[in-house]
């Protein structure tokens, strides 16, 4: 057998596609078209945040429903800046004095892949909240904000009096993965932060990618370190020993939530 075909078992990259004459095979073409359709669906689909909220509440987690300034999916795609800011109504809601300062503001948004948040959002949120609560961290209610960008955490964090912000967001889908979640950590969130001030855990999508448990364990370590040194981002190095933290509680059974 060709060595390239042997390598296919170790990667989802499009290698060893074969050819038919001067073109690719029909099977490879159909696989490509299917992956492209899945990526388009992931980007264009609406996220039913209400269903996610109901499921989280049944699991015993408090939630906050928020809106960005991107009032539609198309507005979100055409105006990235609108997904980085809360609507005036949501800003006013978070400005009420009822919210006590927290250690971590936890935000869930569909970002560029509604498929990712519908498939993996619930499992990752449950695992992350369990891991951080075990460390004695005070968490905000889970903020559900459709059509949000990563920098939305800089708008939400200060309003909740959060020392750190964690945003779980659907990643831009590729032709190998339409259901990948990213997790971004920002110390002292607020205006003026850039991507260089954040730590990112990517490709969270078990079983093909990073597991919820591994992501939560890594996040907990980075938060511990960020609280000590007082910053996050490119200067916060990931040097976590494998045996540094206790095992995170058992990973929830992954599966899609109600759409």
What are the boundaries of each domain within the chain?
42-229
Residue 183 confidence (pLDDT): 97
Buried b (16+ CB within 10 A) or exposed e, 126-160: bbbbbbbeeeebebbbbbbbbbbbbbbbbbbbbbb
User: Could you tell me where the beta strands, DSSP code E, fall in 111-187?
Assistant: 142-144, 164-170, 181-187
What's this model's pTM, rounded to 2 decimal places?
0.86
In the chain, which residues have pLDDT < 70?
1-2, 97-99, 242-259
Fold of 42-229: Rossmann fold (3.40.50)
Q: Which of 149, 118, 103, 95 is nearest to 46 (CA)?
A: 118
Residue 254 confidence (pLDDT): 36
- Segment (H or E) for 199: strand 198-204
Q: Could you report the per-residue pLDDT of 51-79, keeping only the tens digit for each?
A: 999 999 999 999 999 999 999 999 999 99
Judge whether 122 and 257 are in contact, CB under 8 Å.
yes
Pairing verdict, β 198-204 and 164-170: unpaired
Q: Say whether 123 sits in a helix, a strand or coil.
A: helix
**CA gap 240, 46 in Å, rounded:** 37
Q: What is the dihedral of CA 107, 112, 115, 121, to 10 degrees?
A: -10
76 to 45, 69, 149, 165, 197: CA distances (angstroms)? 12, 8, 9, 22, 23
């Amino acid at each position: 057998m060709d060595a390239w075909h042997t390598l296919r078992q170790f990667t989802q990259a499009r290698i060893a596609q074969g050819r038919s004459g001067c073109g690719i095979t029909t099977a490879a073409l159909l696989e490509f078209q299917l992956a492209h359709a899945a990526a388009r669906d992931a980007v264009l689909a609406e996220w039913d945040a209400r269903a996610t909220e109901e499921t989280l509440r049944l699991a015993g987690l408090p939630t906050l429903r928020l809106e960005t300034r991107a009032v539609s999916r198309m507005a979100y795609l055409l105006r990235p800046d609108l997904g980085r800011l809360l609507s005036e109504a949501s800003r006013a809601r978070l400005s009420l004095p009822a919210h006590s300062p927290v250690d971590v503001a936890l935000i869930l948004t569909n970002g560029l892949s509604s498929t990712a948040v519908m498939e993996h959002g619930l499992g990752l949120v449950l695992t992350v909240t369990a891991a951080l609560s075990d460390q004695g961290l005070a968490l905000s209610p889970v903020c559900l904000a459709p059509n949000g960008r990563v920098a939305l955490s800089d708008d939400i964090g200060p309003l909740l009096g959060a020392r750190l912000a964690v945003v779980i967001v659907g990643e831009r889908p590729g032709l190998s993965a339409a259901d990948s979640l990213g997790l971004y950590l920002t110390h002292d969130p607020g205006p003026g932060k850039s991507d260089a001030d954040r730590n990112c855990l990517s490709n969270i999508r078990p079983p093909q990618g990073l597991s919820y448990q591994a992501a939560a364990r890594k996040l907990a370590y980075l938060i511990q370190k960020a609280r000590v040194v007082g910053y996050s981002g490119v200067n916060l190095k990931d040097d976590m020993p494998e045996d540094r933290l206790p095992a995170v509680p058992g990973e929830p059974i992954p599966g899609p939530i109600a759409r």
